[in-house]
Amino acid sequence: MPVVLVTGMSGTGKSSALAELARRGHRVVDTDDGGWIVEEPSTDGRPSEPLWREDRIDALLAEHDDGALFISGTVANQGRFYGRFDAIVLLSAPTEVVLERLARRDTNGYGKSDEERRFILEDLTWVEPLLRVGATDEIDTRAPVSDVADALEQIAETVRPDGPSSTPGL
């Protein structure tokens, strides 16, 4: 019963991939919605820092016992749980693709202002490399969402029984 973390920067397609996996009958949890996140106030003018509610994530991982579970999120404390995931998949896309998606999307307002876009560009520079170090796999999401979902299903079907070997990155 694999548990796969789907992570990546804003605009890389995490929500779209999870929606397609859910349509195919998989259990999915998008931690951006439903009370999975607490916000840690920022002292440097940046937006507040999202953190997983560790008690909820711990309970979700502990109770999972049937089929593949795909969890989506990118938060500062996700590395604390890396050892409990069977795969950690980074979704990525070139900067210009990410910015275009953010400008077009209507499901989430984040990334519309110049300030938010500046933060996203900074995060692409220093956060995405940390995510890449911790990832067991990476998928370029310029591919159609159906292909991204196919790749995620394949990863879930072929994960090592002992999961990731370390907890680098975040």
Least confident of 30-44, 54-68, 153-167: 153-167
Residue 44 near residue 128 (C-beta atoms within 8 A): no
- Please give the residue that has the higher pLDDT: either 160 or 62: 62
Q: What is the C-alpha to C-alpha distance for residues 12 and 7, in angstroms, rounded to an integer?
A: 9
pLDDT of res. 46: 65
* Assigned token pair, 43: 């002292």
H or E segment and range at residue 140? strand 137-140
Reply yes or no on whether the pLDDT at 45 is more than 70: no
Q: What is the C-alpha to C-alpha distance for residues 31 and 148, in angstroms, rounded to an integer?
A: 19
pTM of structure: 0.87
pLDDT tens-place string over residues 1-36: 899 999 999 889 999 999 999 999 999 999 998 999
Residue 72 near residue 6 (C-beta atoms within 8 A): yes
Give the confidence band of 49 by pLDDT, cuts at 50, 70, 90: confident
The one-letter amino acid code at 2 reads P
Q: Where are the domains of the chain?
A: 3-157
Reply yes or no on whether the pLDDT at 56 is more than 60: yes
pLDDT tens-place string over residues 83-119: 999 999 999 999 999 889 887 877 776 767 788 888 8
Q: What is the C-alpha to C-alpha distance for residues 109 and 146, in angstroms, rounded to an integer?
A: 24
Q: What is the CATH number of domain 3-157?
A: 3.40.50.300
Give me the percent of the chain exceeding a pLDDT of 90: 65
The DSSP string of 58-103 is: HHHHHH--SS-EEEE---TTGGGGGGG-SEEEEEE--HHHHHHHHH
User: In this structure, what is the dihedral angle of CA atoms 94, 98, 101, 103, given to the nearest 10 degrees?
Assistant: -130
Q: Which residues, in sequence order, are CB contacts of 125 under 8 Å at separation 6+? A: none
Residue 28 pairs in a beta bridge with: 70
